[in-house]
Structure 1
Amino acid sequence: MKKITLLVVAMLFGSLTAFAQFSFPSVPGPTNVAAGTPVTLNINDVGNSAAATAGSYVSFSVSVDWTEGAGGPWSSEADLTVTTTAGSVVIDPATTGAGTSGAATTMTFEGSFTAPYDPSVDGFLDIVLNQSFAGSDADWSNIVVTVTPPPACGDPENLSAAPTDVAVTISWDAPAFGTTTGYNWEVQPDGVAQGTPGALASGTTAGTSVVTGNVLTASTAYEVYVQTDCGVDGTSAYVTTGFTTTAGPPPANDNFANAQAIDCSTTNLMGSTSLATLDEDDAPDGGGADMDAPNVWFSYDSAAEGAGDITVDLCPSTYDTSVLVYTGTSGNLTFVAGNDDNIGVCGQCCQSNVTFVANGTDTYYIAVEGFNFGSTGDFDMTVSCVAPTPPPANDQCANAEALTLTVTATGTTVGATTDAGDPPTCDTFGQIADVWYSVNLTLSSNNLSIVTTITDTSDQANVAVYTDCDGAAGNSVGCSDANGGETLTINNLPAGLYYVRVWSDGNAPPSSGRTEGGFTVTADATLSTGSVEDANAFTYYPNPVKGELLLNAQKDIQDVTVFNVLGQQVLRVAPNNADTAIDMNGLSNGAYFVRVTIDNVTETVRIIKQ
């Protein structure tokens, strides 16, 4: 290592009226610096031969004119070390002016001493010049070292922030310099400059720590700014640090065990699943909703609040919701109702609305969640209740309403109770709303026909026939479930009392939107073909018919009566001939029942008028 000792004569200026920064005389150079051979320049000695102004200096700046030599150096490969008796400070690369090329440039190296430098006490000051790229060298010229005293008001030191989910504790150390009278502080959103109007929190304090109020948002980034106030000596610059608030605790009703009670007065209850966890993930799915997302829990005590149709509305929510309703206990829940997206009610995707029937006894548990595990957000829930409709008089088989053959009866499934114990053989969904009728067959062998039609809000009037009120599959003699009005024909039934079950799918509204409602039901029975003597047989054609229906028999036809599907008589003739034509031109298009009597034996056929 080469060492060049320079005795520098201080420049004296008129009378100094204040302690200010001091610049040592320039080292003109050029000083060639080769990689691997740092060059040390002595700027001042212990005795302060450079006659630097007495005082405590805390920082330095070294300016250098740099030009490349051999070996292809870059100015960014230059570094400088400043050494006093108190220690050394390395600046690498230059603070300003360094580049990734060999272009000539002026660089500055700025930093703070390891301890205050007072040349009147110990003036020793060296700088070490270095190039790092092997095999290269560069010329350093016009080197000027400037030392700077402390500011009149020092910056706060060691600023730190300790956040919670909604607040932050800000701490710092007092500055090393200046006479402090207090501090100014403020908190801004991340990336927002100090002094911008609308700071989230701000104030003044005499101490070195402060706690904000609960004004912050969980899991959010912020900036904190602190400034020293030195009274008549002014203020420091603001120092800053960033922080992010914590996620915060989960909602109080995060788990099934802590379900929040709701009732029919619950309106626009605001909540969030953003910090929730997934609880009861083994609970059954249903209604298009899966138990697979972070959820919160609510409870509806129907014993206290009453029975009825309970609607949970999440339509105003701001994320993709799902809702599931259960009865039971933790780990042993029974599905009641569910919904993922109810576009028909909400008018948009993708929020939920579900209605379930509370029985007035059970407590119902409602899980609000997103459509999958990554779906969380804010929800808005309203609960509404409608008092239950009393069940029809023939809600139970024991109270079955008797049907008169060929006479149409009106009925409804509105208010009918759930009958899940013995589902019809053609509809095993397990939850239906049904009513019951009975029909007495007196012929030795009967062809029984049951016809239902929809009359209002329902889209179903399904039919099954049983030999007794047990309702078990083994007692079923016929079943039809085509999701509309039905025509069920069962042949060769012996004489006896039969029970007719009419139902729609479930009095707990399913996700398909099916509803209960009114219907008509008509029963008719004719002697089975195998039991009618050939002499009483007849033929009829055409079917469908547009004008006349032709009847041909071996004996005289005593009576022909035509009924519409409502059981109303619309036409009757007494031909007393074996062959006759029934004029149907005056009838509206649709289905009709034609009852033919021959030799006091009656048979009914169904025809279509076009």
Structure 2
Amino acid sequence: MKKITLLCIAVMTFAFSFQAKAQCDYTIELTDAWGDGWNGVSNMDVLVNGAVVLDDIGLAGGSIGSFTFTVNDGDDVTTVFNAAAVVGFPDYADECGFRILDALGNEVFTTNYDAFGGPPADVTTGTVTAACPACSVPDVSYTVVDNCPVDDGFTVEVVINDIGTASGVTITDDQGTAASAGLSAGTYTYGSYLNATPVVITVTNDSDGTCATSSATLTFDANCPPANDDFANALPVACDDNVTGSTADATLDEATAPGGGGADVDAPNVWYSFDSAVQGAGDITLDLCPSAYDTSLLVYTGTSGNLTFVAGNDDNNAACGGCCQSNLTFQANGTDTYFISIEGYNAGNVGDYDLTVTCVAPTPPPANDLCANAEALALTVTTAGTTVGATQTGTQEQPTCDPFGVIADVWYSVDLTLSSNDLNIITAITDTSDQANVAVYPSCVADEASSLGCSEGNGGETLTVNALPAGTYFIRVWSDGNAPVPPSSGNDRTEGGFTITVDATLSVNSFENANAFTYYPNPVNNGLQLRAQKDIQNVTVYNMLGQEVIRTAPNAVESTVDMNGLSQGAYFVQVTIDGVTETVRVVKR
């Protein structure tokens, strides 16, 4: 009976010992000293008690990788490394290494782990015997969280998913931060730490100090992007502001926004905003001349993903006194908010910038800025005008000869009294503008369909519209935009002063057939050709001051008036046929 009792006790003791045998996870870390993987992805087996638990593992790329496998307390761990399977054997086999970590992260075996030194040695029987802790290691993950945009430091977010067998755990670091004890599962923040500080976080079972887990080395080694790195975080600027900064740590956004002025959105950029509803309308100059790198500058209205181009400049050598910084001027309307993108010429151009904002109040528009307030012109009288301060055309259609320009226009009217009129219009530049374009309309509707004539180019214009019936006509004079505020912006606009002269003569087609004549060319360079059905008795030429400059008496049906010696400009030519005198206007070039 005693023997039977002792046998039962022995069996129960053996069963208890077997059931209490601890189980845990070991880790094998594979490394490559060159950083390009093991040059073969099936190089190694891991065995536990002679049975393969990790078959044909390898490091496909990079410098480190890991695998976990389950062991019981007392298990024998071995490895088989097939050096010949390494592509390029034997030359590349010495890049390979590995180590084995126990359940607590302690290194229990290493070979050629972090340096060149020959093919790694295998773990042989009896070298690594699994030892699992009696406690359960806490399950923890770690995340580095930067402090941007406050500063370049960082914190560590410690997520305790499971405290294992502990009643509580303690978090510590290797930087002297006060320990946090008695913690349960949850998320905890440790830090803040200075940029580039190497930090190791440890979570320890409060009941068993040997049951702990530690992070790898954690750090944040980078500079934060600028606070105004993105369009959504554009910083406000105002008139007379000077702001400095850097695009060195900026990123690129709004890359699909339209470009212009030699600039486009293709480099790391920062954003500013200019609220013209607060700052007022005017000519706004953005100056990056003191900047320390090759800049580009763009101005927009609109919203993210739907920006409208206003102005742009890559290099303004004239304003900056050399290459390669930006300077531009745009006209703020007093209503919109304008968004300013500072960037480099291309993705490789980043650096320190220096931006100054200068505002000049707008020039009041001329009295005849609108067609409804058109200034009346007297025939043959030269009148001075200007497009300085003239506004965009608004709802009126573009002139037929300038359908895409930014139209800053003024308006004139002229009354024609003859039954059929040849209307002659001459504009001449008098100061800063290089344009004084001309179009004629029968009313202020001023659409393309009603345009009677149009002339657009650089310099003054000469426009003749023939056979107009008696009535009031409206003359539009424009330049392509608004004048730049010095220094030149690189996208110059061309308002300025001009003179305008109009006259009207009876259309040739209205002469009685017997006295009809033709004249050509007009404008004329050298000789004006006259042809009639009857003899031309007299021809007299007057300048715009009414002074006689040529008189001939051809007494023939054809005549050539030599105008070669006359200055450029408009002249009146009186032609007398059979006692009837008619006057036409010609332009000498």
- So what's the TM-score if we normalise by structure 1? 0.56
- TM-fit CA distance, 1:278: 2.1
What percent of counterpart residues are identical?
Answer: 61
Q: Is 1:601 aligned to 2:582, yes or no?
A: yes
| Structure 1 counterpart of 2:546, from 561, 564, 569 | 569
Partner of 1:336: 310
User: 5 Å matches for 1:77-96?
Assistant: none
- TM-fit CA distance, 1:266: 0.8
Partner of 1:384: 358
Partner of 2:78: none
Q: Report the aligned-residue RMSD.
A: 4.6
Q: Secondary structure at the match of 1:360?
A: coil
- TM-fit CA distance, 1:559: 7.7
CA distance in 2, matches of 1:309, 1:468: 32
Question: In 2 relative to 1, CA 428–349 (structure 1 residues): closer, same or farther, beyond 3 Å?
Answer: farther
Partner of 2:62: none
Partner of 1:290: 264
Partner of 1:307: 281
Q: Is 1:489 aligned to 2:464, yes or no?
A: yes
Q: Is 1:366 aligned to 2:340, yes or no?
A: yes
Partner of 1:155: none
| Structure 2 counterpart of 1:466, from 429, 438, 441 | 441
Amino acid at match of 1:571: E
- TM-fit CA distance, 1:345: 1.6
User: 5 Å matches for 1:34-113?
Assistant: none
Partner of 1:475: 450
Q: Secondary structure at the match of 2:469?
A: strand
Question: In 2 relative to 1, CA 503–258 (structure 1 residues): closer, same or farther, beyond 3 Å?
Answer: same
Structure 2, unaligned stretches of length 5 or more?
A: 1-109, 113-145, 156-173, 178-193, 198-217
- TM-fit CA distance, 1:547: 9.7
Of residues 574-583 and 417-426 in structure 1, the stretch that sits farther from structure 2 once superposed is 574-583
C-alpha contact 1:357 1:508 (8 A) present in aligned 2: no
Question: In 2 relative to 1, CA 546–366 (structure 1 residues): closer, same or farther, beyond 3 Å?
Answer: closer
Q: Is 1:525 aligned to 2:504, yes or no?
A: yes
Q: Is 1:501 aligned to 2:473, yes or no?
A: no
Q: Is 1:352 aligned to 2:333, yes or no?
A: no
Q: Secondary structure at the match of 1:303?
A: helix
User: Highest CA radius of gyration, 1 or 2?
Assistant: 1
Partner of 2:570: 592
Q: Is 1:425 aligned to 2:400, yes or no?
A: yes
Question: In 2 relative to 1, CA 467–246 (structure 1 residues): closer, same or farther, beyond 3 Å?
Answer: farther
| Structure 2 counterpart of 1:262, from 223, 230, 237 | 237
Q: Secondary structure at the match of 2:301?
A: strand
Amino acid at match of 1:381: L
Deviations 1:73-101 (A, max 9, x none): xxxxxxxxxxxxxxxxx999xxxxxxxxx
Amino acid at match of 1:412: T
Of residues 535-544 and 252-261 in structure 1, the stretch that sits farther from structure 2 once superposed is 535-544
Question: In 2 relative to 1, CA 574–286 (structure 1 residues): closer, same or farther, beyond 3 Å?
Answer: same
Partner of 1:228: none
C-alpha contact 2:301 2:308 (8 A) present in aligned 1: yes
CA distance in 2, matches of 1:301, 1:399: 31
- TM-fit CA distance, 1:574: 8.0
Question: In 2 relative to 1, CA 208–376 (structure 1 residues): closer, same or farther, beyond 3 Å?
Answer: closer
Question: In 2 relative to 1, CA 468–596 (structure 1 residues): closer, same or farther, beyond 3 Å?
Answer: same
Q: Secondary structure at the match of 1:424?
A: coil
CA distance in 2, matches of 1:503, 1:346: 30
- So what's the TM-score if we normalise by structure 2? 0.57
Question: In 2 relative to 1, CA 91–476 (structure 1 residues): closer, same or farther, beyond 3 Å?
Answer: closer
CA distance in 1, matches of 2:419, 2:475: 20
- TM-fit CA distance, 1:419: 1.7
User: 5 Å matches for 1:7-22?
Assistant: none
- TM-fit CA distance, 1:413: 0.9
CA distance in 1, matches of 2:454, 2:425: 10
Amino acid at match of 1:529: V
CA distance in 2, matches of 1:532, 1:91: 114
Partner of 2:164: none
Structure 1, unaligned stretches of length 5 or more?
A: 1-89, 93-162, 170-206, 211-215, 223-242
CA distance in 2, matches of 1:543, 1:254: 61
Deviations 1:292-343 (A, max 9, x none): 2221111112222121111001111122211111222333322221212222
Question: In 2 relative to 1, CA 389–437 (structure 1 residues): closer, same or farther, beyond 3 Å?
Answer: same
Deviations 1:430-483 (A, max 9, x none): 422111112222333333222211111111111111222122111112212222
C-alpha contact 2:526 2:562 (8 A) present in aligned 1: yes
Amino acid at match of 2:587: R
User: 5 Å matches for 1:381-420?
Assistant: 381-420=355-394
| Structure 2 counterpart of 1:252, from 227, 232, 241 | 227
